[in-house]
Structure 1
Amino acid sequence: MKRHVLFIAAILSIILVLACAGCSELPVDGRDIHSEGGDAAAQTPTATPAWVEEATPIRTSEPVVTASPVEPEPTSGLPVYTEIYTNDVYLLYDVIALNFDLKIPAMIIELKIEPEMYTNTKRIYSDYGDKDLITIRELYPDPRADLAVTIIDRETGDVVEEYDYQQFTTECKKDTITIRYPGPYQVEITGNNVDVGISISVPEANLVDDEESFLLS
Structure 2
Amino acid sequence: MSRVYKSFFVAAVMVLILVSAGCAELPPGGESGWSGGLSPDKQGGSGGEDDDPGYLKPATPYPTATSSMAGPTLSKPVETAPTQDPYVTLYNRTTEFSLTHPTDAYSFDLTAPPLIIEFDVEPKMITREKYTTSDYGSKKDIVVKQSYPSEDSWFTVTVRDRESGAIVAEDGFGKRFSTDTDKRVFVGRLGDYLIQFSGNDVKVHILVRAGGV
Ranges in structure 1 where 5+ consecutive residues have no aligned partner: 1-77, 208-217
Report the equivalent of 2:95.
89
Q: Distance in 2 between matches of 1:129 and 1:189?
A: 52
Ranges in structure 2 where 5+ consecutive residues have no aligned partner: 1-83
Report the equivalent of 2:148.
140
- In the superposition, the TM-score normalised over structure 2's length comes to 0.55
Alignment pair present for 1:188 and 2:203 = no
Q: CA RMSD in A?
A: 2.0
- In the superposition, the TM-score normalised over structure 1's length comes to 0.54
Alignment pair present for 1:158 and 2:166 = yes
Which stretch has the larger CA shift, 149-158 or 98-107?
149-158
Alpha-carbon spacing, 1:101–1:127, altered in 2? closer, same or farther (3 Å): same
Report the equivalent of 1:124.
132
Deviation (angstroms), 1:79: 7.8
Counterpart AA for 2:87: Y
Q: How many residues align?
A: 126
What percent identity do the matched residue pairs reach?
A: 31
SS at match of 1:201: strand
Q: Distance in 2 between matches of 1:107 and 1:193?
A: 27
Counterpart AA for 1:114: E
SS at match of 1:120: strand
Deviation (angstroms), 1:156: 2.4
Deviation sequence 1:132-183 (CA, Å, 0-9, x none): 12221100111111112111111222222222432565xx610011110111
Q: Distance in 2 between matches of 1:146 and 1:183?
A: 28
Report the equivalent of 1:199.
207
